Amino acid sequence: MNQHPAIPPGLLRMWREILGGILLFTVACTAGESEGSPDIDYSTGTHLVLLGTGTPNADPDRSGPAVAVVVNGVPYLVDAGPGVVRRAAAAHSMGVEGLRVSNLGHVFITHLHSDHTLGLPDLIFTPWVLERDRPLELFGPTGSRAMVDHIQAAYAGDIGARLDGLEPANPDGYKVNVHEIEPGLIYQDENVKVTALRVTHGSWEDAFAYRFESADRVIVISGDAVPSEAIVEHCAGCDVLVHEVYSQAGFERRDPVWQRYHSSSHTSSVQLAELASRARPQLLVLYHQLFWGTTEEELLAEVKAGYDGAVVSGNDLDVY
């Protein structure tokens, strides 16, 4: 139904094209790549999709930590925070075809804190229900196998009902091939080389950052970590560094008991500015932001006070 009978359809179409052009230009200038633009071909090249930028705080706008590196349409996930599968489905409906839920076949876990792994049962079972027909390939620290074994045991009833009941289910999609890793090159295929970097994160014996190298980009993702030389060395002018951060001003308002924990486990805005100045990424993306009352703009300003490179504060479903 034409709502504007007085305006010729050709003129309307022209206006729409002009407005669309302005919008796309604005998005391209501010957000690197945009949020799921239909004009970007996500089936080739390397695209970074922030699925969850949250922390243990149950922020409804920030799902638990999870990042997707999509290379030639194949998704490689880092971490499985709560909400990971729903966010992948949202990215898919935004136009990132590779994040179709049944395509979620590889995940690289940084460490076994609950905020990074509560989405693991979801990532194991939901894609299977939606017809992923091969096992999930999981790379992670020592302890990953025990965690997966316990999840499989907890859901034995569901697995049995789907395999032996009336629901059509394939025989392999719920399985997980667990690869417990050491630092170094841990995975390679026709799309990516993935290197695990050991980082320090409080009392965790095993915590990793990951470096993804594809034909067109190098992306480093910190996971949870204090400032780490391995990240500086392996970014070394990389295309994108996705790094966790907490607000220095917020930190100063925290209880001393929590200050002791955070300073031994995470990276402050001041420390991140210093680290990024040496790692020199083309783009620094903040994620896993701990604000503690600081606004997003103030957090960015804290980083920019000591760092003159390009930096953005990431939000769920941003694409870079």
> What amino acid positions are annotated as catalytic residues?
115
Residue range at the interface with Zn ion (CB under 5 A); choices 66-74, 189-197, 216-224, 278-286:
216-224
**By C-beta, is 62 or 113 nearer to Zn ion?**
113
The site map against Zn ion for 260-299 (x = CB under 5 A) is ----------------------------------------
Minimum Å gap between C-beta 111 and Zn ion is 6
CA distance 98 to 120: 19
Residue range at the interface with Zn ion (CB under 5 A); choices 143-151, 177-185, 224-232, 256-264:
224-232
Minimum Å gap between C-beta 261 and Zn ion is 11
Sheet holding 136-140, edge to edge: 46-52, 66-71, 74-78, 106-108, 136-140, 176-180
**By C-beta, is 187 or 204 nearer to Zn ion?**
204
Minimum Å gap between C-beta 123 and Zn ion is 17
CA distance 227 to 246: 12
Minimum Å gap between C-beta 251 and Zn ion is 16
Residue range at the interface with Zn ion (CB under 5 A); choices 28-36, 107-115, 119-127, 192-200:
107-115
CA distance 122 to 220: 25
CA distance 261 to 213: 33
- Tokens representing 66? 């999870």
Residue range at the interface with Zn ion (CB under 5 A); choices 108-116, 123-131, 232-240, 275-283:
108-116
Name the DSSP letter for residue 34. B
CA distance 87 to 312: 20
Pick out residues in 49-78 that bind Zn ion (CB under 5 A): none
Residue range at the interface with Zn ion (CB under 5 A); choices 9-17, 217-225, 226-234, 298-306:
217-225
End-to-end Cα spacing for the chain: 38
Minimum Å gap between C-beta 259 and Zn ion is 16
CA distance 111 to 265: 12
Q: Is 259 in a helix, a strand, or coil?
A: helix
CA distance 124 to 264: 32
**By C-beta, is 93 or 114 nearer to Zn ion?**
114
Pick out residues in 112-141 that bind Zn ion (CB under 5 A): 113, 115
**By C-beta, is 209 or 218 nearer to Zn ion?**
209
Q: State which of residues 224, 302, 316, 318 lies at the interface with Zn ion (CB under 5 A).
A: 224
Q: Which long-range contacts (CB under 8 A, 24 or more apart) does 248-252 make?
A: 248/302, 249/294, 249/298, 249/302, 250/290, 250/291, 250/292, 250/293, 250/294, 251/292
Count of residues touching Zn ion (by CB under 5 A): 3
**By C-beta, is 115 or 318 nearer to Zn ion?**
115
CA distance 71 to 83: 22
CA distance 197 to 221: 10
**By C-beta, is 213 or 224 nearer to Zn ion?**
224
Minimum Å gap between C-beta 52 and Zn ion is 10
Interface residue list for Zn ion (CB under 5 A): 113, 115, 224
